[in-house]
Amino acid sequence: MTIEQAIALAPAERAVNLIGSDLTEKSLKLHLEGLAGVDAVGLEQRAAGLGTRSIKTTSKAWALDTIIKLIDLTTLEGADTPGKVRSLAAKAVLPDASDASTPQVAAVCVYGDMVPYAADALGSAWSNGSDNGINVAAVATAFPSGRSSLPIKIMDTKEAVANGADEIDMVIDRGAFLSGKYGVVFDQIVAVKEACRRENGTYAHLKVILETGELNTYDNVRKASWLAILAGGDFIKTSTGKVSPAATLPVTLLMLEVVRDWHLLTGEKIGVKPAGGIRSSKDAIKYLVTVAETVGEEWLQPHLFRFGASSLLNDVLMQRQKLTSGHYSGPDYVTID
């Protein structure tokens, strides 16, 4: 065990700057275990308090449009087909066919092999590495379990990037994390980050999925968030959507607090993506409030905050139609996913 702990880790820039150039499993572990514990009751109370805000009329209209702009429209099913991805892309470009003023979503999120179809279907709406347009995000590294060897995870990532993915959603090895092998998780994130490099030297954005539903404690969520940031993640993401519980407000609040602390410490801005389980506009608005109150309204932009969701968009569109028409809308007036 002690021998293992002396193994030097990949020299990720952030970790080297914060922990020191002699980065080892031991020094990383000491650093993570030195983080303050989470006050679970306080955290949940704070999250519940933020969820009670009443957002009405013009603020609500703004919130609904903002939510749409922050959505990663997702399909991650074994039964996905190029046709399904094409219809998803069409919805990303024009979410509400009855109202052309509806904003476009931030990205479509698909499995790696579906990236070419998604990029093709988005056509001129595809950002293709630029700042404008809709991104294509791909899940990689043996999503959702993360149970495969590192070379396979790297190839998985490289292939998705070569296919044109603008963003990579990777999963961490929760088994290694829970057994205290922080170095393994760290090295894997660093390696996948490197695999996100395109031929021209730029990087696809890396979102690190912590799968908080499997981490058991808030302390672990804080450690994993910190670890993912140190290793070079651009975004920290709550869940795959395949494990229950998926995103919850307290967990997202905790991750936002880590992001806030990191920003205060280094000036760097890390993104947060709650994913899974957010189905209603009402829930999504609670997240917007939480973001604004924790890290500031500046974070309510697609490069700093995302919703990973599929059914959420339809509910937001129905709420939007209600604001426009004055009467309640129904599922017959939005597309079937």
Partner 1 sequence: MTRLTVPKTYKLYIGGKFPRSESGRTYEVATKKGAFLANAALASRKDARDAVVAARAAFSGWSGATGYNRGQVLYRIAELLEGRREQFIDELMATESLSKSAASAQLDTAIDAWVWYAGWADKYVQVAGNGNPVSGPYFNLSTPEPSGVIAIVAPQDSSSLLGLVSVIAPALVSGNTVVVVAHQNAPLSAISLSEVLATSDVPGGVVNILTGSPAEIAPWLASHADVNGLDLAGAEQLEWVDLQIAAADTLKRVLGPVVGVPAPSVERIVQWTETKTVWHTKSLI
Q: Which positions touch partner 1 (CB under 8 A)?
A: 321, 326-333
* Alpha helix (H) residue ranges in 196-248: 218-230
Among the listed residues 303, 276, 70, the one whose alpha carbon sits nearest the alpha carbon of residue 167? 303
* Least distance (Å) between residue 266 CB and partner 1: 45
User: What is the three-class DSSP state of 41?
Assistant: helix
Q: What is the dihedral of CA 94, 99, 103, 109, to 10 degrees?
A: -30
Residue with smaller CB distance to partner 1, 210 or 334: 334
**Alpha-carbon span 120 to 89, nearest angstrom:** 9
Residue with smaller CB distance to partner 1, 24 or 335: 335
Identify whether 237 is a catalytic site residue.
yes
Cα 205 vs. chain centroid, distance in angstroms?
10
Residue with smaller CB distance to partner 1, 266 or 311: 311
Query: Which amino acid belongs to residue 257?
Result: E
* Least distance (Å) between residue 328 CB and partner 1: 4
| Catalytic residue from among 153, 158, 273, 286 | 273
| Catalytic residue from among 234, 237, 283, 286 | 237
Query: CB count, 10 Å around CB of 115?
Result: 24
Residue with smaller CB distance to partner 1, 280 or 301: 280
Question: Can you read off the two tokens belonging to residue 20?
Answer: 């020191």
* Least distance (Å) between residue 243 CB and partner 1: 25
Query: CB count, 10 Å around CB of 292?
Result: 16
| Catalytic residue from among 96, 156, 169, 187 | 169
* Least distance (Å) between residue 331 CB and partner 1: 7
Residues noted as catalytic: 169, 237, 273
